[in-house]
Amino acid sequence: MRRIAVAAAEAGMVLAKPVLNQTGLTVLTAGTELDADLLRRLERMGLDAVYVEGAAEAPAGTSLADREAQLERRFRQVADDPVQQMIREAVRAHLRRSYAVLPAPETGGAA
């Protein structure tokens, strides 16, 4: 699942989470395939983003090792706090799962 701006949504994408209106009522259910009419409707609702099916995309040029190094730097000052360390490990597990579902880069070689 990934969060994308409504302006970047395209016909054929499938909602991963329901879309709710301002009063909390479901307007579109998870599993709905977006088309041009629904995209216009979402824009008229003034929504910033929706959740669609598919793997989250990692920032370009950022490897898992780079992200884990950033994580270590951010939690360095709370190394003695067991609760913060549990949070760090949960984030690390999330990063590893996120990078595991990313497609492998194409080699470009002839088949």
Q: What is the pLDDT of residues 67-82, one digit of tens each?
A: 899 999 999 999 999 9
pLDDT of residue 72: 93
pTM of the model: 0.52
Cα angle 66, 83, 77; round to 5: 55
**Structure tokens belonging to residue 31:** 């599993």
> Bridge partners of 19?
28
pLDDT band at 101 (very low <50, low <70, confident <90, very high): low
Q: What is the pLDDT of residues 5-42, one digit of tens each?
A: 888 889 999 999 999 988 999 999 999 999 999 999 99
Maximum pairwise Cα distance, the chain:
55
Identify the CA nearest to 67 among candidates 44, 96, 41.
96
List the alpha helices (DSSP H) in the chain.
36-45, 64-75, 82-100
pLDDT band at 85 (very low <50, low <70, confident <90, very high): very high
For the chain, give the percent of residues with pLDDT over 70.
83
The burial of 52, by beta-carbon neighbours within 10 Å (0-12 exposed, 13-18 middle, 19 or more buried), is given as: buried
One-letter amino acid of 40: R
Higher-confidence residue of 12 and 107: namely: 12
